[in-house]
A and B are shown apart, each in its own frame.
Chain A
């Protein structure tokens, strides 16, 4: 974005103003996320930098808000921190339980969304796919329809979606359902809801990868005697894998960040991290929320780096293909 040599002084002035404006906008984007990190080490229960923090006095900083993540909900937080204390924290601490729930639900929702979504994307990107536009519109709509509508619909429907206790189906899915055998207030209900919300992301990323995929490779593979399964696992899969993984990461983040569906359809057992943060923000907004936030930001930086690496790999691979 170098300035052309023929630029007038006015244009030069404008150019630097423009750079300054862009810098300000980038600052607006990133500052709120960065500011959370030092504030989470505040020794005082305030949301602002104290004098001590500004003068880099070590007593102005502490890990107390990180500690509350272990002790909140812990039956005996003040006891000696021996192995039984940690065991109890692992079993009962509100935030640890929420983290476990978030990870489990996210994992299963991601598996469900990625497997179904990748299959569908393979079908959708075939030129002979009938009703392509309509089907695509339906599959993307969970991303478009306001989440509150999805949540309201699901909360009506899931309360009625029950299996009779003792029926064959209840032996298969029973453990994942609520004590009444319904989808509402069950792990399975939340997993299905989150998978549905994650599907559009898988479809979008995988079809995007497939659009750069050279279909003649499939014919080449077939002409060399590979059956469709071998072709899929040996030729297609390695090439679109980066797209699948980044789709899966999107699906996971969607689930990991989701709170409205959890508010409407989850029971007290399925409290996730965002749900717990929601409680915290509404009731007792303390820097403990910011401590959780800091951990999540670290987490998203890792994910972002992973996606970026995948994207580069995908572009490199696509560069190899003769399209």
Chain B
């Protein structure tokens, strides 16, 4: 009995000491690593409060499930734009408000310092990221250059990998089929447009592996499991820059959008979480993150501070989604479209995947 008592006190002690000050749910891999370096560590150094990272393939559905179940375990989550809007509309997020954010390092008020549209009532952007495709240069010395090449198995034979979901895949498929970026969402809103996108995906379906987590595509390329893959651009950059992998990013047909920090309603430490968000979206923190991964900071005042990669020699600008040279055929992801069609198109996508 005495032993059991000791055990139980030890266990309860463990349960207490393990609780952290701020828990941040993000996308794992190189991206989380960049946030840890640029946000978490400086925050802990400045406030003495610990930050715990939790990885997820996509934090938004997890946040929704937690809030609906009344069982929130994370304080801050990193979500895509459409999800931030949807969760905010449904009252599942704490209000943050652009006015409460600190001004830029040059004194510009936050409302003007952030890129247009990058701050909503409940969410604050940290970065602009993009879904691009990348290939292994050892497999294709004369590499693919357009999004159409990704869907062309004859010209560029080899396995492909894409994200397991409808979003970004359907857009890229339409652009590959010759739809101009400006018309993509209008086309996708029609049943014929959806059929057309799936017909394009059909071309590579049997040679495609479907990834879930953002860390998988560079891994699949590195292992030689695929020759080409869609990916979040920063992951490919991190693998190429940090590990010297022979990966080349193709910017044609990229789909870019904001990534935002949100605080779920009912977060265990909501007040602390909002302080963390303010800290992490300050001019310096956002600029620092670009030292670790090639995502564009959401504040204008951060841009001049972005310089070199942490290795001290790689210039970051050419690797940013927002670099004009990379924007020749680029599509801004439409949250209005995905708020409405997400479940319908994903159902269709699942049915399409399951059918042989």
- Contact indicator A187/B70 (Cβ below 8 Å): no
- Contact indicator B71/A279 (Cβ below 8 Å): no
* A61 at the binding interface (Cβ < 8 Å): no
- Contact indicator A187/B71 (Cβ below 8 Å): no
- B208-244 near A? 1/0 per residue, CB < 8 Å: 0000110110010001000000000000000000000
* B55 at the binding interface (Cβ < 8 Å): yes
Could you say which of B8-16, B151-159, B318-326 contacts chain A?
B8-16
Distance, CA A176 to CA B216, complexed state (A): 35
* B28 at the binding interface (Cβ < 8 Å): yes
- Contact indicator B28/A175 (Cβ below 8 Å): no
- Contact indicator B74/A184 (Cβ below 8 Å): no
- Contact indicator A175/B71 (Cβ below 8 Å): no
- A79-115 near B? 1/0 per residue, CB < 8 Å: 0000000000000000000001000100110000000
- A274-292 near B? 1/0 per residue, CB < 8 Å: 0000010011110000000
Distance, CA A282 to CA B217, complexed state (A): 11
* B120 at the binding interface (Cβ < 8 Å): no
Distance, CA A46 to CA B225, complexed state (A): 12
- Contact indicator A269/B18 (Cβ below 8 Å): yes
* A179 at the binding interface (Cβ < 8 Å): yes
Give the residues in chain A near B15, CB-CB below 8 Å. 175-176, 186-187, 269
Give the residues in chain A near B18, CB-CB below 8 Å. 269
- Contact indicator A178/B73 (Cβ below 8 Å): yes
Q: How far is the CB of A275 from chain B (nearest CB, A)?
A: 11
* A176 CB contact (under 8 Å) in B11, B29, B55, B74: B11
* B52 at the binding interface (Cβ < 8 Å): yes
A104-B14, A178-B73 given as contacts; is B52 within 8 A of A284 (CB)? no
Q: Size of chain A's interface in residues, with CB distance under 8 A?
A: 27
Interface-central residue, B19, B69, B219, by most chain A CB under 10 Å? B69
Interface-central residue, B12, B14, B15, B28, by most chain A CB under 10 Å? B15
- Contact indicator B268/A179 (Cβ below 8 Å): yes
* B73 CB contact (under 8 Å) in A100, A187, A268: A268
- A199-212 near B? 1/0 per residue, CB < 8 Å: 00000000000000
Give the residues in chain A near B57, CB-CB below 8 Å. 282
Give the residues in chain B near A176, CB-CB below 8 Å. 11-12, 15
Q: How far is the CB of B161 from chain A (nearest CB, A)?
A: 14
* B16 CB contact (under 8 Å) in A104, A107, A175: A175
Q: How far is the CB of B302 from chain A (nearest CB, A)?
A: 26
* B54 at the binding interface (Cβ < 8 Å): yes
A159-B70, A185-B71, A268-B74 given as contacts; is B215 within 8 A of A175 (CB)? no
Please report which residues of chain A, range 116-169, place their CB below 8 angstroms from some CB of chain B when the two chains form the complex: 155-156, 159
Give the residues in chain A near B73, CB-CB below 8 Å. 178, 185, 267-268
Q: Size of chain B's interface in residues, with CB distance under 8 A?
A: 27
* B301 at the binding interface (Cβ < 8 Å): no
* B125 at the binding interface (Cβ < 8 Å): no
Distance, CA A47 to CA B220, complexed state (A): 13
* B12 CB contact (under 8 Å) in A46, A175, A178: A175
A155-B69, A159-B69 given as contacts; is B11 within 8 A of A282 (CB)? no
Distance, CA A108 to CA B52, complexed state (A): 26
- Contact indicator B213/A283 (Cβ below 8 Å): yes
- Whose C-beta in chain A lies nearest to the C-beta of B70? A159
- Whose C-beta in chain B lies nearest to the C-beta of A180? B71
- Whose C-beta in chain B lies nearest to the C-beta of A175? B12
* B249 at the binding interface (Cβ < 8 Å): no
- Contact indicator B215/A284 (Cβ below 8 Å): yes
- Contact indicator B55/A283 (Cβ below 8 Å): yes
Please report which residues of chain B, range 274-327, place their CB below 8 angstroms from some CB of chain A when the two chains form the complex: none
* B23 at the binding interface (Cβ < 8 Å): yes
Q: How far is the CB of B103 from chain A (nearest CB, A)?
A: 32
Give the residues in chain A near B19, CB-CB below 8 Å. 179, 269
Give the residues in chain A near B268, CB-CB below 8 Å. 179-180
- Contact indicator B71/A159 (Cβ below 8 Å): yes
- Contact indicator B29/A268 (Cβ below 8 Å): no
* A182 at the binding interface (Cβ < 8 Å): yes
Give the residues in chain A near B28, CB-CB below 8 Å. 279, 283
Q: How far is the CB of B60 from chain A (nearest CB, A)?
A: 17
Distance, CA A108 to CA B70, complexed state (A): 27
6 residue pairs, one from A and one from B, having the closest CB atoms: A175-B12, A159-B69, A283-B215, A159-B71, A267-B73, A283-B213
Residues of chain B touching chain A, judged by Cβ–Cβ distance below 8 Å, are 7, 11-12, 14-16, 18-19, 23, 28-29, 52, 54-55, 57, 69-71, 73-74, 212-213, 215-216, 219, 223, 268
Task: Return 30 A-B CB contacts under 8 Å, by A number.
Answer: A104-B11, A104-B14, A107-B7, A108-B11, A159-B71, A175-B11, A175-B12, A175-B15, A176-B11, A176-B15, A178-B73, A179-B19, A179-B268, A180-B70, A180-B268, A182-B71, A185-B71, A185-B73, A186-B15, A187-B15, A267-B73, A268-B23, A268-B54, A269-B19, A283-B28, A283-B55, A284-B29, A284-B215, A284-B219, A285-B219
